[in-house]
């Protein structure tokens, strides 16, 4: 399963970034313009909030488990989640959590 988690983390990085970079190239590199585009209508706002709740949930889970398991490397998933997206952060966390030698209870 580790290979699956890693493959999903790579896909979850590359695929969304392809669209983000394309949008930035066509619409200037203004992050606030992208935030405005995320809220262009009710459907996109719903997706933004869906992913925001998922990102916060993943962050709380990763922090709680990383400290309780004393497996701090898995915390790399937190910045990946907010800098790239849940599509990278979740499979990255599962990949790091399942590595050989990771502390288990």
> Could you read off the pLDDT of 53-66 as tens digits, one per residue?
999 999 999 999 99
- Average of per-residue pLDDT values in the chain: 94
48 CB neighbour count, 10 Å cutoff: 13
For the chain, the straight-line distance linking the first and the last C-alpha, in angstroms and rounded, comes to 19
pLDDT, greater one: 80 or 104: 80
* Distance between CA atoms of residues 13 and 17, nearest Å: 6
Model-level pTM? Answer: 0.88
CB 98 within 8 A of CB 2: yes
Confidence of residue 34 (pLDDT cuts 50, 70, 90): very high
Percent of the chain at pLDDT above 70?
96
pLDDT of the residue at 101: 73
The residues near 99 (Cβ < 8 Å, ≥ 6 apart) are 2, 73
């Amino acid at each position: 399963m580790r290979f699956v988690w890693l493959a999903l983390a790579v896909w979850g990085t590359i695929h969304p970034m392809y669209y983000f970079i394309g949008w930035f190239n066509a619409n200037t590199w203004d992050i606030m313009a992208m935030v405005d585009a995320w809220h262009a209508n009710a459907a996109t706002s719903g997706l933004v909030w869906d992913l925001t709740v998922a990102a916060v949930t993943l962050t709380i889970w990763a922090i709680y488990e990383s400290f309780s398991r004393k497996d701090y490397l898995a915390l790399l998933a937190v910045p990946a989640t907010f800098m790239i997206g849940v599509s990278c952060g979740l499979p990255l966390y599962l990949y790091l959590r399942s590595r050989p030698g990771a502390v288990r209870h």
